[in-house]
Amino acid sequence: MSIEVRGVNKRFGDFVALDDVSVSIPSGSLTALLGPSGGGKSTLLRIIAGLEFADTGSVEIEGVEATHLPPQQRNVGFVFQHYAAFKHMSVARNIAFGLEIRRRPKAEVRSRVAELLALVHLTQFAGRLPSQLSGGQRQRMALARALAVEPTVLLLDEPFGALDAKVRQELRDWLRRLHDEVNVTTVLVTHDQDEALEVADEIVVINDGRIEQIGTPDQLYDEPANDFVMSFLGPVTRLGGQLVRPHDLELSTSDPGGGRLCSITRVTRVGFEVRVEIEVGDETVLVTMTRTHYAALGLDLGGTAWVRPVAGAPTVAGSSNAAVQRDFADAG
């Protein structure tokens, strides 16, 4: 294991940021800490980096007890949401910073910086100041700066949070390729479920200072441990008191057996997807399907149909109504 966090507690005044959190992060993996804002995931990352210290509990990095080590002795690379670029230094000097602090020979610094500039596609911007770069370029520079010192772990705190959607998607793909190339143990904090599902080998879901579930994206999506994980990762709707994914519901015009009668109240088409709102008893349920599938069914708005979950669809007993309502709103 590359990072071992054991029994960490952290309070800020009365606010409990982390409540007895333990997690093991394997070497060479890309792990996402996923959860809503204020859930404690950034605090956990900053405790691993040494930018905050745990009240109780311990942190071990690559077998070295690090609980009380100052950040500069942990050999971690940290990337901040708002880049934390050194504004008075050129891109090249930013990247060279960690190496200069370590008093590496000039020639080595120069070749390493050139190598990293190429890796993050910023070679032609080497002499510019950070203020002359776009957000995405700044974040790539920050990544190169963190990688320059060959850290044992790379920690990314909402790295793409301040970027617009398109750049974000590009950088996400790029980060995944970069990770496969340099293979450094990476921990990414994000509140964006798509980002976590797409990029990470393993996801740690954190909410209210506690770990809800740890697993691969498939495990979390297909076997959610509880209603929070189910509703936080991916769309969710409620049928007969059970939480179920809207795309795991099937509609048919004749009773397939085990189906429930429903009326179709609303149909919205968004790109390739069709969202059908149905009423089952007094519940409003969302069903999503492809456009082709919808056309093949031949449903009528205002008409009736039968609905049932597909075989093997993950369902969870829904206890927290608020979370479901929120996600229903997001999905619709």
Shortest spacing between CB 73 and other proteins, in angstroms: 8
Edge-first strand order for the sheet with 315-317 is 237-239, 242-244, 315-317
Which residues in 188-217 contact other proteins (CB under 8 A)? none
Q: Which is nearer to other proteins, 124 or 131 (CB)?
A: 131
* Site map 131..150 versus other proteins, x via CB under 8 A: -----------x--xx-xx-
d(CA 7, CA 42): 17
Beta-strand relationship, 153-157 and 185-190: parallel
- CB nearer to other proteins: pick between 104 and 210: 104
* Near other proteins in 72-91, by CB under 8 A: 72, 74-78, 80, 82-88
Using the rule CB under 8 A, give the single segment among 6-14, 48-56, 110-118, 166-174 that binds other proteins: 48-56
Residue of 17, 23, 32, 49 interacting with other proteins (CB under 8 A): 49
Q: x/- site string to other proteins, residues 147 to 186, per CB under 8 A?
A: -xx-------------------------------------
Phi-psi region of 232 (alpha: psi -120 to 50; beta: other; left: phi over 0): alpha
**Three-state secondary-structure class, residue 53:** coil
Phi, psi of 210 (to 5 degrees): -125, 150
At its nearest, how many Å lie between other proteins and the CB of residue 107?
20
Cβ at position 88, least distance to other proteins in Å: 5
Please state the closest distance from residue 118 (CB atom) to other proteins, in A.
20
Stretch that binds other proteins, among 16-24, 94-102, 119-127, 288-296 (CB under 8 A): 94-102
Cα separation, 209 vs 39, whole angstroms: 5
The nearest distance, CB 213 to other proteins, in angstroms, is: 29
Residue 69 binds other proteins (CB under 8 A): no
Q: Are 280 and 240 contacting, i.e. CB atoms less than 8 angstroms apart?
A: yes
Residue from 71, 135, 215, 240 binding other proteins (CB under 8 A): 71
Compute how many residues bind other proteins; rule: CB under 8 A. 28
Task: Determine how many CB atoms are found less than 10 A away from the CB of residue 127.
Answer: 10
102 binds other proteins (CB under 8 A): yes
What's the token pair of residue 285?
A: 């349920």
Angle at 281 between CA 279 and CA 284, to 5 degrees: 35
C-alpha span between 52 and 64 (Å, rounded): 18
Q: How many CB atoms lie within 10 A of CB 46?
A: 19
* Stretch of 27-35, 67-75, 163-171, 262-270 lying at the interface with other proteins (CB under 8 A): 67-75
Token pair 């800020």 is found at: 12
Q: Between 33 and 286, name the residue whose CB sits nearer to other proteins.
A: 33
Give CA separation, 93 vs 68, 75, 192, 256, in Å: 30, 19, 32, 67
Sign of the torsion formed by the C-alpha atoms of 129, 131, 132 and 138: positive
For other proteins, the closer CB: 184 or 205: 184
Minimal CA–CA distance to 188: which of 170, 206, 200, 205? 200
Pair of tokens at residue 45: 């990352």
Give the residue, chosen from 26, 28, 70, 127, that forms a contact with other proteins under the rule CB under 8 A. 70
Is residue 98 part of the contact set for other proteins (CB under 8 A)?
yes
44 binds other proteins (CB under 8 A): no
Q: Which residues are at the interface with other proteins (CB under 8 A)?
A: 49-51, 70-72, 74-78, 80, 82-88, 97-98, 101-102, 142, 145-146, 148-149
